[in-house]
A and B are shown apart, each in its own frame.
Chain A
């Protein structure tokens, strides 16, 4: 008998667990005393309640999550089995990092149908974005309160005001937190214009993953003039090299040390006032390389950067007013596709009657091709000329070898092994699985000291050996060039 009961319990336990699987660990989190603190996002659930369960005139529930990171809320599951009146949810984000006195930023009011119907999945009509550093608030309340005064805040009820408590349960449907090392925004923004005579302020927001971070992680802004005439550098080499220079703090680069991993928001002011014109701005997250490393030694000689670049993005900004030639150069470099002003710029610069006549700009405008026209010509050649027979076959072969072919699983090998005089068993070897499995095992085995796997340890040596071999072969080939061949003078 006891055994039978035990079997029944064992049989029913998974079913019971399945029934409550939408709200894991609901019983042990967040009983309603104060809604401040405690996560409501992710897989956790939130229990809430309100007063006067049968009146609903002032039924309230609120949850707040402080800084969930960069996420998008697509919807939520809510258990409405104990709620019997129309409800709405008011969702807000706020840049004020404290609960209670936060000022709502963007808000959304959404009806919750089918109250009393058990667990409902509510999909928001438009995904709601939350950014790092923001407070997230969800208030559940009476339908009329939510839409009153244009969807304002539902007054939150902190604590029990005397009615019988009941619970609602909530699981938010977040996107996974984006923890990739990245740059989210830059200032000056791409194609923005800054004020003449004022040193521009550079700023950046983004995120550094824990695994990428160390104590020498910097945000680096490097800028260079698109036109030599507006270069802030003292010499030509500086003008060409400064924006993407090889030093951590070149003449035209400025760095800010990041003090911790995770989200960052940093800014600095350019140490120089830039002359009018267009500038390229390369914003990157960098780490200096050890001076004794191969890259470090090469950087002494000017052959390599003295830092490793984790992520980088290049934008462009203008200072003050720009000349027609600079506008064209800006377009030619691909930062804008404004061709409509090109003809007018030529007319203005080349006509002696024009107020902005400039023979230098005129010549440049006449002979410098526009980026979009060059691209169009290249596309025409690629599409209509390089596909003609017979050289079209070469184009196709190059396409296959470079980009158009995708990895294909290696063929399986089947072997029939006789197990008796009349029977055999067939063994099939999946080569792709075997190769990938072997590679996975090797990659998972790590050096206990450095934490690097076999590939990270061995690959630099293999690459160095191959590079050295190629250099030696070419070196001896060059040395042999000057020799007089046997039998010839």
Chain B
């Protein structure tokens, strides 16, 4: 009960702090280049391709796993600074 009140308090506070920021639902268009449309289309093409050529899906998962590892390292370096392993 106490935790949920704290949680609601945090949520309402954040809403008050950021209420003035505009809400966005699509990616911007820069110089006539509609990033949102092209990204949706590109990902749609990729999904069609990976549905037919299924090894692409496995390679993509492997890439995501590797990306997660490098992200973890970056977070460790950010949090621990020079005390992170491999930084000295």
A interface residue numbers (CB < 8 A to B): 342-343, 346, 365-370, 373-374, 377, 380-381, 384-385, 387-389, 392-393, 396-397, 400-401, 404-410, 432, 435-436, 438-439, 455, 459, 462-463, 466-467, 469-470, 473-474, 477, 480-484, 488
Contact = CB atoms under 8 A, between A and B. Distances in A.
Contacts of A432: 48, 52
B40 A405 contact: yes
Nearest to B66: A470
B27 to A, nearest CB: 6
B2 A385 contact: no
Given A366-B1, A388-B18, A388-B22, A407 B69 contact: no
B20 to A, nearest CB: 9
A404 B49 CA distance: 17
Given A369-B3, A370-B4, A385-B15, 20 more contacts: A346-B1, A366-B1, A366-B2, A367-B1, A369-B4, A384-B15, A387-B23, A387-B25, A396-B25, A396-B36, A400-B27, A400-B39, A405-B39, A405-B47, A406-B44, A407-B51, A408-B44, A410-B49, A439-B52, A477-B73
A439 B18 CA distance: 50
A480 B3 CA distance: 43
A388 B21 contact: yes
B26 interface: yes
Given A462-B58, A463-B58, A401 B24 contact: no
A404 B24 CA distance: 16
B3 to A, nearest CB: 5
Given A397-B27, A462-B55, A410 B86 contact: no
Contacts of B51: 407
Interface of B: 1-4, 7-8, 11, 14-15, 18, 21-28, 36, 39-41, 43-45, 47-49, 51-55, 58-59, 61-62, 65-66, 69, 73, 85-86, 88
Contacts of A488: 88
Contacts of A393: 24, 27-28
24 contacts: A365-B1, A367-B3, A368-B3, A373-B4, A377-B8, A380-B15, A381-B11, A389-B21, A393-B27, A393-B28, A396-B24, A396-B25, A400-B27, A435-B48, A438-B52, A439-B52, A439-B54, A455-B54, A459-B54, A462-B55, A462-B58, A467-B62, A480-B86, A482-B85
Contact of B47 (A396, A406, A469): A406
B36 to A, nearest CB: 7
B7 A466 contact: no
Given A400-B40, A407-B51, A389 B4 contact: no
A405 B43 contact: yes
A467 B1 CA distance: 44
B69 A482 contact: no
B71 to A, nearest CB: 12
Contact of B2 (A367, A408, A436): A367
A342 B1 contact: yes
A466 B61 CA distance: 9
Nearest to A439: B52
A488 B22 CA distance: 48
Contacts of A436: 52
A377 to B, nearest CB: 5
Contact of B41 (A346, A408, A435, A483): A408
Nearest to B59: A466
Contacts of B73: 477
Contact of B48 (A343, A367, A370, A410): A410
Nearest to B17: A385
Nearest to A471: B65
Contacts of A467: 62
A436 B48 CA distance: 9
A482 B86 contact: yes
Contacts of A365: 1
Nearest to B39: A400
B69 A474 contact: yes
A470 B43 CA distance: 24
B24 A388 contact: yes
